Amino acid sequence: MSDTFEPRIVGFFCKWCTYAGADLAGTSRLQYPPNVLPIRVMCSSRVDPVFLITAYLRGADAVLIGGCHPGDCHYIEGNYYTRRRMAMMKTIFESLGLEPERLRLSWISASEGPRFASVITEYTENTRKKGPNPVKSKVFI
Amino acid sequence: MSKILKTNKGAEKCLQDFLKHLLESGKAKAVMALSKTVATDQDYTLNYSLISSTEELDNALPFFPLMPANAGKLVSYLTLKGPISAPIAVVLKPCELRAFVELVKREQGHLDNLLIISHSCGGVLTFDSYLNGNLDQDIKAYWGAVRKNQIPDKVRPTCKACIHFEPYTADISFDLIGQDLDQTCQITVMTDKGESILDGFDVKWTETKADPKTAQDLKALRQKAKDGLFESINADIYGIDNLIDVFGRCIGCHGCSNTCPICYCILCDFESKDHEFEPNIFEAEIIKRGGLRVPPNTLLFHIGRLSHMGISCVSCGLCSDVCPVEIPVSTIFSKVGEAIQDLFKYIPGKDLEEKIPLTKFEKQEFEEIEDK
């Protein structure tokens, strides 16, 4: 194993848009870093804030939620709730002095394969620059 | 509507007589208030009780500054399955009332048939000073401070920093702060229902005007106390290392969530199997971290609970008071909760019609948190 830091990113992707976007990026043979661990959810609003906290405390270097663009949600309004929750989570992280930058929200539709690849690339590079999640080495969680 | 009335009768006596009147006239089938459950001359145990006989009412001490449980949660137990069939009068502190309104929004209670009596609140004693202090002296000092419009000494830290000390949605509110409580009783009739139950109560009321300065002064005083409290707690909890330091002593009793008025889930997510580590996860974690606290997930419990109920935290302070290892839970939750509430410009329990922010949305908002 090399000593260079490879970020581990947990991604919660909505089945209808972002996950399909990831599929499209794959079938179009687009290159993007393999650092993201995709988890498919039926809607981005399925993601309980506790999922984000769990991922963060268990050592994910970053957590990404991917959903449909506002107005395009398969369930009409799910992603609007996600956005509010994400705003809340960022506020909580900010108030507690954790790192809200490690939580990200992206809208990627099913037809945006190239966008998926570029978001993951940009995000991986950003996280690499930021360094590993400090919680990863804490014995107490 | 809102009408302020005054009479020359001690406030506590006036409320007791009023509750008696409600029972006798049949306007309420029962009264829920703090009362002595076991009483000797020196010592008494206080609890919330439902009282239906007028003799039993003599044991009621509705204004006693103690919160053995958040009565908002208790009223939600009474009205969980549907509106109660006969009217009940409940005496709630402002934060208990706010907690109840939050529970009603979560379909955990019903407001119909409840006569809500509340009062402006000087705070409640900590359990420590109630059990181990000199109670007579503390109570005397407490009422002295309330009369003089100051912050009492032995109350909960969040009470000292509470700026919502006047009830928002009561039917009748007794004004205690800054009043001469032995001689006069001033009430605010806040609803038509309050007006109608006051009918026939044999006391000579004179209509008066409130002096807004009293409340403003106290609010300014408490705001200052709040800023100080939040600043000091911020130094203790900011950053992962400080969080570990503060929550590291948690013994996992979950007393904070069991007493929390907003935590109503029958099976808490954090008590379910979902968050238990299995042996293989333990193994993986110790390889990654070089060690692991057992039992793990303490931080997850507290931050997770914050994310679940922080939006509705009414800062009643019960969680800190029940904590056996003295983690300042309520101060932390109050501070972070307020940050979330400010984000949505929401005051929990202020208005029944206002939906909980996380259950509604605007089509265009918070665009700064999305990736472009």
Q: Is the pLDDT confidence value at B326 over 60?
A: yes
Q: Do A88 and B307 touch (CB under 8 A)?
A: yes
Enter the ipTM: 0.94
Candidates B236, B249, B305, B307, partner chain A, best to mutate (most A CBs within 10 A):
B307
Q: Which fold does the domain A9-130 belong to in CATH?
A: Rossmann fold (3.40.50)
Residue closest to B170 by CA, chosen among B82, B75, B261: B75
Chain B environment of A133 (Cβ under 8 Å) = none
- Whole-model pTM? 0.94
Instruction: Domain ranges for chain A, please list them.
Output: 9-130
DSSP chain A: --SS----EEEEEETTTHHHHHHHHHHTT----TTEEEEEESSGGG--HHHHHHHHHTT-SEEEEEEPPTT--TTSSHHHHHHHHHHHHHHHHHHTT--GGGEEEEE--TT-HHHHHHHHHHHHHHHHHH-S-GGGG-S--
Residue range B70-89, pLDDT digits in tens: 999 999 999 999 999 999 99
Residue range A107-123, pLDDT digits in tens: 999 999 999 999 999 99
- CA-to-CA distance for A57 and A60, rounded, in angstroms? 7
Q: What is the mean pLDDT of chain B?
A: 92
- CA-to-CA distance for A114 and B62, rounded, in angstroms? 66
Crossing angle (nearest 10°) for helices B240-247 and B298-309: 100
Residue range A31-43, pLDDT digits in tens: 999 999 999 999 9
Chain B environment of A88 (Cβ under 8 Å) = 307, 310-311, 340, 343, 358
Question: Which of residues 330 through 359 in chain B touch A, CB cutoff 8 A?
Answer: 335-336, 339-340, 343-344, 357-359
**Which SS3 state, helix, strand or coil, does residue B30 take?**
strand
Residue range B125-155, pLDDT digits in tens: 999 988 888 888 999 999 999 999 999 999 9
The answer to whether A137 faces chain B, any CB pair under 8 Å, is yes
Q: Which among A50, A59, A94 is the nearest to B269, CB-wise? A: A50
Residue range B103-116, pLDDT digits in tens: 999 999 999 999 99
The answer to whether A77 faces chain B, any CB pair under 8 Å, is yes
